[in-house]
Chain A
Amino acid sequence: MTKRIIFGGVAILLVIAAAYASFFIAPEERTMGLIQRIFYFHVASAWSGFTAFFLCFMGNLLYVWKRDQRYDWLAVSGAEVGLAFTTVVLITGPIWAHPVWGIWWTWDARLTSTFVLWLLYVSYLLLRTLIDEPDRRALLSSLFGIFAFLDVPLVFGAIRWWRTQHPQPVIMGGQGSGLDPTMKAVFFFSALAMHVFMLFLVAERYALEKMQTEADFLARELEAQ
Chain B
Amino acid sequence: MSLFSNTGVLLSKELRTEFRSRELLTTTVVFILVVLILFSFAISPTTEESREFGPGLLWLAILFAASLMLQPCFLREQNNDTLSSLRLAVSDPFSIFLAKLVANTLFLLLTELIMLPFFAIFYNVPVLPELHWLILVLFLGSLGISVAGTALSAISAQARMRELLLPLLLLPLLTPVLVVSATVTVSLFEREPIVKGKGIAFLAVFDIVFLTALWLFGEYLLEE
Contact = CB atoms under 8 A, between A and B. Distances in A.
A127 B169 contact: yes
For the residues of B in contact with A, the DSSP-based class is helix
B152 A144 contact: yes
Nearest to B148: A147
Contacts of A35: none
A130 B168 CA distance: 12
Given A131-B158, A139-B223, A157-B202, A150 B210 contact: yes
A104 B127 CA distance: 38
B160 A131 contact: yes
B9 interface: no
A143 B221 contact: yes
A178 B151 CA distance: 43
Interface string A141-157: 00110111011001101
A158 B165 contact: no
Given A123-B169, A147-B151, A147-B173, A161 B179 contact: yes
Contact of B176 (A123, A132, A155): A155
A139 B206 contact: no
A120 interface: yes
A205 B14 CA distance: 45
A67 B35 CA distance: 44
Nearest to A140: B155
B5 interface: no
Contacts of B210: 147, 150
B175 A158 contact: yes
Q: Output the residue of B161, B176, B221 with the most chain A CB within 10 A.
A: B176
Contacts, number: 75
Interface string B153-171: 0010011110001001100
A198 B217 CA distance: 30
A127 B165 contact: yes
Contacts of A161: 179-180, 183, 195
Interface residues on B, range: 20 to 34
A64 to B, nearest CB: 6
A120 B168 CA distance: 9
B213 interface: yes
Given A64-B217, A150-B213, A158 B173 contact: no
Interface string A188-223: 000000000000000000000000000000000000
Contacts of A126: 165, 168
Interface in A85-140: 116, 119-120, 123, 126-127, 130-132, 136, 139-140
Contacts of A17: none
A136 B158 CA distance: 9
B129 interface: no
Contacts of A139: 220, 223
A154 B151 contact: no
Contact of B209 (A131, A150, A159, A162): A150
Contacts of B148: 147
B209 to A, nearest CB: 6
Contact of B213 (A116, A132, A146): A146
Given A123-B169, A140-B158, A157 B176 contact: yes
17 contacts: A116-B175, A126-B168, A130-B159, A130-B160, A130-B165, A131-B160, A143-B151, A146-B213, A147-B210, A150-B210, A151-B173, A151-B175, A151-B176, A154-B205, A155-B176, A159-B176, A161-B183
When A and B form their complex, which 10 residue pairs have the shortest distance between CB atoms, in order from nearest? A158-B176, A158-B179, A130-B159, A154-B176, A119-B172, A130-B160, A131-B159, A140-B155, A120-B172, A116-B175
Interface of A: 64, 116, 119-120, 123, 126-127, 130-132, 136, 139-140, 143-144, 146-148, 150-151, 154-155, 157-159, 161-162
Interface of B: 148, 151-152, 155, 158-161, 165, 168-169, 172-173, 175-176, 179-180, 183, 195, 202, 205-206, 209-210, 213, 217, 220-221, 223
Given A131-B159, A151-B173, 16 more contacts: A116-B172, A123-B172, A127-B155, A130-B161, A132-B160, A136-B158, A139-B220, A140-B155, A143-B151, A144-B152, A147-B151, A151-B175, A154-B176, A154-B209, A158-B176, A159-B179
